[in-house]
Each structure stands twice: as C-alpha cells, then as structure tokens.
Structure 1
C-alpha cells in the first residue's frame, strides 16, 4: 500500500469522509460568517441608535435654552443651563464651568479641543476604569444674529451618556449569533450526510460494476441518473464495458477457433504419421542393406518422424487440457517406487539419483505423475548438468518432489516463464529436441491434481523445479475425478 505523505497522515482519505468534512466545514463557515455579519450589522445599528438618541436629546435641550443664554454668561447662567441639560453634564465658558454627575473625568482635553474648533457636535466613545462603556458629547452654543449669521457664544456643553444597556443588548446579540452558529453544526452534518448519500450513490454503483468486471462479469452495467458529470461518467463506463465485452467475445471466439484448428490438425496428422512411422521402422530394420548415405538419410527421417510424432502427441494433450477434457484417475501409490519406475523405463537410473524415504504413500494419477517427472528429469538432462537429483519429502497434507540440476540455470529474470507454451530461452535451441510444450504439460498435470509446479535458480548454479501434490485425493478440491 502506498504510504501517505507525512503532512497528510491523519487526514481523512475516504471520499465519503472527505465530502462530509468539506460540506460541514463549508456550511459551518458560512453559518459563522452569516452570524458574524448579522452581529456586526446589529451592533452598528444598536450603537447608531444609542448615539442618535443621545445627540438628539442633547441638541433639543440646548436648542431650547440657547436663545436665553446671555453673553457673556454668569455663573448662575451656567448653573441653570447645566440643570436643563441634565445629570452628568459640564458647562464651560472660558475659565468658568458648572458640572455635576459621575465620570466627568471622561471629558478629556481632546474632546474639549475638538468642540472648541468645530461649530457642530462632537462625540467620543469612552470607557470607565471598570470597563463600562460611555458616550461623551460636546457641542458649542451658537448665537444667531439679526441677519441670520451665527457666531460662537463661547459657551460649550458637554454630556456623558451611559451605554451599558446598549452594550448588554450587543452582548445578547453576540451570544445569539454564537448559538445560531452552534445550532448550524448538526444541521450541516445532516445536510452533509444527505448530500454525500446522493453524490456517492452513483460512485458506489460504479464501484460495484468495477468489482463485477474484475470478477469476470462483463455484462455489468451502471444505470445513469440525470445529466451531470457522474451520469456522463456512468455512460462512458457502459460504453467501455460494452466495447470490452465485444472485444473479449471476439478474442474468445478466435482462441476457440485456434484451439479447435490445432486439435483438428493434430488428430488429422496422427494417421499419416502412423503410416510414416511404420515405414521408418521398416527402414531401420533393413538399414544393413542400405548404403552409408541411405542410412544417414533414414536416420534423419527417423529422428524427424519421432520429433513430429512427439509434437503431435503434445499438441493433442494440450488441446485436451484446453477443452477441459482431461480426467484424473487417482490411485494409492508409493511415490519413491513410482519414481524409480519412471527412471528405469527411460534408462536414466545411472544418470539420476533419488533422495527419498523408503516409502511415502499418496493418492495420485500414476500416468500423470510419470509424465511430470519424465518432463522435469528430461529437461534437466538436456539443458542442465550432472548431478541431477530427485528429492521427495512428505507432510500430512502434501508430497513435494524437487528435481535439481547443476547446469547454467534458467534464462531470464523470471524462471517460471519456462512453463509458457513453446517457450525456448535460447533461440539457438529452436531446432533442438523438444517441442517447448513439455514443461507446460507437466504443470497442467500437477495442477490437475490440485498442486502446482514452480521453477527457481539456485544461488550458485543450476535450476530447481518443485512439484507439489496433495497427498490424498480428498485434499484436492479442484481436481476432476
């Protein structure tokens, strides 16, 4: 399995999980942003309303008494004006002032300077030492001349307005925004589950169809829903599956026709080869009556006929495997005894040694075991080097037969390619004895038993073939009996 980058470890990798996480994050972020925007808007509105009310109240009071303010004013005038303005107010005229109420210290020099410079109201948001929000206001009193012009009277009015109630409403609005965002999370999860279910349904169908393809069901199709990208993907997959099914059908027909052709040709060759073999036998019997050139020709004809007869026999056997016409006929046999019989029948007892216990009983098809061992030993004698050793080991469940030689080993990086039909690792051996089917047939016989045949190169030199057979027929669920 491919390792994830370090930065991605712990990150959800499933498509469903990623969709859920992305949808929940996006929805939660949207809800949080909407709640924050609402909170900011509400806060601005509340502050604006509070400031507007304070400004209007102060302006109305000052406007009502401004015509009666004498210029220059007396201390009594300032005191009466302060009473009209209300609590938490400060009235100044030059060095004279009249003030009453709490937190007048919040009317700082900066606010006074701004009020002295402007002909309109000035406001400033401030906080007490305890953090209570206040609004400090300052406005000059203007005198209107007969001609309508206005001039400063020198009297300045300051007032401190409490914003605690407004701040409490802002805090309540913030808590409501947070609660709204929190309540949006389960709603987002539910919506994400529903959305992921709808989005992943065609993906699951595509996965199911892909699994059926992998299992060999080329008729699997996906039902497109709608006209979105997933539906287009489903239609493309269906088109691909249909084309693949047609291609596989053509290949199977072509393969079946090729196998039938090989089988037919092989069977048709048996009759003329039988006649030719009989003629060759006659020539060999009368070889002493032939000239030297005639004997050489007769020997070449005899060798070619035997090779052709062996090739036809191998082709017929391969065609029977392809047609699944082979049947296993297991018998209880002593494996070491059967191996000695195979070597004696071919005159190999002096060339091959057997490393086996005195007796290992197993249920095998004797003819097929003979074919397997003969092919392996014959291959070792032709292409390997002595010593050639057959080793037999048995367990409760299987019998393992290995054939080892000490030759140059098997060609190529994959030794098991020698089991491919007509495989010849060295092109120079293309005209040598053998059809290139012997090892393929040996593996088919082994697998018919429910075992297998493998090849490997030894670390030093040489090759080893290992044939595994189930020890008892009941342990061969795949064999045909």
Structure 2
C-alpha cells in the first residue's frame, strides 16, 4: 500500500512538473506577461526606491538642520551667558529654558562648579536625558580640543549623530561653549519624520503594486493582440497539414504579421496548385498503367496460348521443333510467362492505388492454407513448416496465398534452403515467420525491400522477378489490417514476419463500398503449374 502511494505521489509530481514545464516553456502569452511584469516591477521598484531615498534625505536633512540650528543658537544665547563655573541649579534652569525652544528637544548641560566637581543640568530632571544616552564617540569628538589654524578658527565644533533606541530614531548632537563654559548635548526624536517616511514607503509600495497589475493587464492585452494572428496562423497551418489546401488567412493591416499572413497565403496557393498538378499527373499515370495492362491482356492471352502449345511440343519426345530453334522457343515461352506475370502484377498494383481492392473473407485454417500454397508450387522438398493445425482466422484466402507465395518464393530464390515457415497465434493476431538460410539482406537494402521495382543490385537490373512481389504482399497485408517486416536473423539468413488479425471482418465492412475489380491477384510468387514448375521469386 505504501509503495502504491509513493507511486501515485511520484506520478502526481511528474504530472505537475510536466504541466509547469509546458506552461513555462511553451506558453508565449505567459512569457510575454511575465517579461512585461518583470520590466514593470523593475522600473517601479527602481523609481520608488530612488523617490523614497531622495525624500528620506530631504525630510531628515530639513528636520536635522532646523534642530541643529536652533540648538546652536540656544547654546550661544543661554549656555554662553552662564558663568565659567555654574552651579547645578543654574545648569538645570538653563537646560529647561533651552528645551522650550521651537524644536522641543531634550537638553543636557555638563560643567564644573567652583569646587571642581562635575555638575549636570537636564531639561527632564533626574530621570530625563542623561550622559549615558550620548554615544561615547560623540562625547569624545565634542570634548576634544582642536588646533586653531587659518582653516580652523575654533577649537570646538558642533557634532551630531543619528541613533535608534527602542525602535525610535533620535538625533543626538553636542558642542562646547567657546571661551569657557558648559558642554551641551541635545536629543531630538525623529519619530514624526519616520512615520511620514513609512507612509511614503506604503504609498510607493501601493503605487508599485498598481503599476505591476497595470503592466500585467497591458501585457495580456498586447499578447492577445499579437498572438491572435499567430493562433490563426497555427490553426491554418494545421488545416493545411490535414490536407485542406484551400485554407487561407484573412489579411488586414500592413505590419509584419500581415506580411506573414500574405506569405502564408502565397505558399498555400502554390502548394495547392503543385498538389493538384501532381495529383493530376499521378492519376494520369495510374490510368495509363491500368489501360496499358488491360490492353496487353488480350494479345497476351493469345500469345500465352501459342506458347503453351510450343511448350508442349518441346516436352513431347520426337516433336516437330527444329533443334536449331529450340533455344529461341524456350526463351519465348519463358519471357511470355514473365510478361504475363508482370501484367497481372501491374493490374493488381493499379487496384491498390485506385482503392478498388476488396477483401473476400472466409474462415481458413492457417496451416492448411500454407500447406496448399507450398504444394501448389511444388516447394514441399525445400520448405519446412512449423505450424499446428487448428489455428483459424477469418481472412481472404486468395490474398493470403499471394502473400505466402511471394515471401516463400523470395526466400527460395534469394536466400538459402531450407526455408522455414513458422506460425504462432495470439488472442487477436496470427504471426507467420518465413526464414531462409542465405547471406541475409544488406543493411542499406532493408529499408527498400518493399519498394516497387527495387533491385538490390544495380548491376543486375534485369531478373526473373518483376520487383513488385514484396510490394504487393505488403499491400495485401495492409488491406487485412496487418503488417510485414523484414530483418536479419542473428543465426544467419533473412526473416520476413507477417502479422495478420484473426478476424478482418471490420475492415471488410469498411471496404465494402464498391465491388472489387475482377481478376486474379498475382504477385511474384506466381501460380503453380500443373507440371511442377517453380514459381517466381522477388525481382
């Protein structure tokens, strides 16, 4: 149960990963929206950051300058009027007066009394602003006496520093009265300015979000505008690929997409014209082959009858054939038979090309059918059959005979004896393997063995076969809904494997729209002669 759950989990994860991959890599609309969003987000964040930084510096600088200016003035007016050694009460009173300035900051005054003791005066009393609230670095800078030069006219200066205490920002400053007097420190809360800056940050964040949403909507609108013609182009291309060559795009505008649509229409028009021309030429070629085959049958019938008489005369002892012309007569007989087979093959090919070939089904015992094919062609001594009786299939017996004759005849001619034919059956198909013991089929020839008129050796374009046998066998397998494959056996020799359905009734019903053209279905396997002549193999 755990393994099943893990398998389901992995499958769900793989499915989600596949969906996300398709969304991420195949959706141009999504990529456009994401790119527009990233550009808008980058621009908005950059603009908001720069605006926030500039406003922050302006707000803090303005508040800081006002506070420091007021503190410096208070130090000059009030702290400067104190005696050189003031009392604590005097420091306390003066610090309170300084804190009541317009900026309302806390004040701490530090001095030495007449007894040399350090006294403090804070505007907030004993629990208010203390010396410990002043950074040590700032105290050191304030009390450090500098050398007076032409560039530095005063030994003491005003110093300031920003600090944060309990999440509250403060401005802390300090200076010393020149010419002797107390040292003053000031602390001013910058919380109002911080609140203003936080409000500004929120406003800029909201503006950035709105800009991002607006850019996404704009990107969606632009993507729709751009991708709609692309979608129409994709639909038109699919229709064109499905064979609807009259597909055209409606062209509007003068932009690049309109030019692309015009180019597509021109290409589709040229393709339609080219396909029509090719279809016309192909139809004319098929008609020519069919007409030629039909026209040849009549004289061939007469010639065949004459050659059969001549053949009987040749085989009759003491016949009237002149020994000088006997080789010529035998050549005429052989070539007439070959020409007759070629015409029958061409007529069968034209039936397949025209779509008029039909199945005439019957229940057959596959082993009996193979035995009958071998016996009719006098191949019993050269063929080994490994097939159990009782393997039944609903097929076209005549077309199965043509397939077997071509495969076995091809193996006998081009392979090596013995040729082994084996039959295996599954629930829904029958598999017939024809194996020879020859040198096998060259690897460069394997893809072409079922091509029409294909010759394995270019130096021997003429052979006893027509070069149509395996092609016709394959067409007969296809009309049953089956297939033939060719390969080389690891043990040597070539293997042709025929796969046919156990019941081809469904295909026969689909193909029953028009009657089958009359005439025997031939192939290079040929028909067996009454006197045991070997059938032709593949050319």
Bin of the TM-score, shorter chain as denominator length: 0.7 to 0.9
Which among 19, 26, 37 is matched to residue 39 of structure 2? 26
Decide whether aligned partners of structure 1 residues 121 and 213 sit closer, same or farther in structure 2, where only a CA change above 3 A counts. farther
Decide whether aligned partners of structure 1 residues 103 and 133 sit closer, same or farther in structure 2, where only a CA change above 3 A counts. farther
Query: What pairs up with 1:66-85 in 2 under 5 angstroms?
Result: 85=98
Residues 82 and 98 of structure 1 are in contact (CA less than 8 Å); yes or no, is this contact kept in structure 2?
no
Which among 13, 36, 51 is matched to residue 25 of structure 2? 13
Residues 307 and 333 of structure 2 are in contact (CA less than 8 Å); yes or no, is this contact kept in structure 1?
yes
Unmatched runs of 5 consecutive residues or more in structure 1: 1-7, 142-151
TM-score (norm 1): 0.80
| 1:214 aligned onto 2:241 | yes
Deviations 1:354-403 (A, max 9, x none): 22222333322222122111111111111111111222333442333222
Decide whether aligned partners of structure 1 residues 397 and 82 sit closer, same or farther in structure 2, where only a CA change above 3 A counts. closer
| 1:399 aligned onto 2:430 | yes
Aligned positions, number:
460
1:3 is matched with: none
1:144 is matched with: none
Query: What pairs up with 1:94-113 in 2 under 5 angstroms?
Result: 100-101=122-123, 102=129, 105=134, 108-111=139-142
Decide whether aligned partners of structure 1 residues 427 and 181 sit closer, same or farther in structure 2, where only a CA change above 3 A counts. same
Query: What SS is found at the alignment partner of 1:293?
Result: coil
| 1:125 aligned onto 2:161 | yes
Q: How much has 1:153 moved relative to structure 2?
A: 7.2
2:294 is matched with: 267
Residues 111 and 124 of structure 1 are in contact (CA less than 8 Å); yes or no, is this contact kept in structure 2?
no
Query: What SS is found at the alignment partner of 2:465?
Result: coil
2:190 is matched with: 163
1:46 is matched with: 59
Q: Which has the larger displacement, 180-189 or 319-328?
A: 180-189
Residues 416 and 454 of structure 1 are in contact (CA less than 8 Å); yes or no, is this contact kept in structure 2?
no
Unmatched runs of 5 consecutive residues or more in structure 2: 1-17, 100-105, 124-128, 513-539
Q: How much has 1:185 moved relative to structure 2?
A: 5.5
Q: Which has the higher contact order (CA 8 A, sep 6+)?
A: 2
Residues 448 and 479 of structure 1 are in contact (CA less than 8 Å); yes or no, is this contact kept in structure 2?
no
Q: 2-side partners of 1:114 and 1:178: how far apart?
A: 47
Q: How much has 1:438 moved relative to structure 2?
A: 0.6
Residues 125 and 133 of structure 1 are in contact (CA less than 8 Å); yes or no, is this contact kept in structure 2?
no
Decide whether aligned partners of structure 1 residues 213 and 135 sit closer, same or farther in structure 2, where only a CA change above 3 A counts. same
Query: What SS is found at the alignment partner of 1:338?
Result: helix
Q: How much has 1:99 moved relative to structure 2?
A: 5.8
Q: 1-side partners of 2:220 and 2:283: how far apart?
A: 51
Query: What SS is found at the alignment partner of 2:161?
Result: strand
Query: What SS is found at the alignment partner of 2:246?
Result: coil
Query: What SS is found at the alignment partner of 2:171?
Result: strand
Q: 2-side partners of 1:305 and 1:314: how far apart?
A: 14
Q: 1-side partners of 2:391 and 2:168: how far apart?
A: 101
Which among 84, 88, 93 is matched to residue 107 of structure 2? 88
1:310 is matched with: 341
Q: How much has 1:436 moved relative to structure 2?
A: 0.3
- RMSD of aligned C-alpha atoms? 3.9
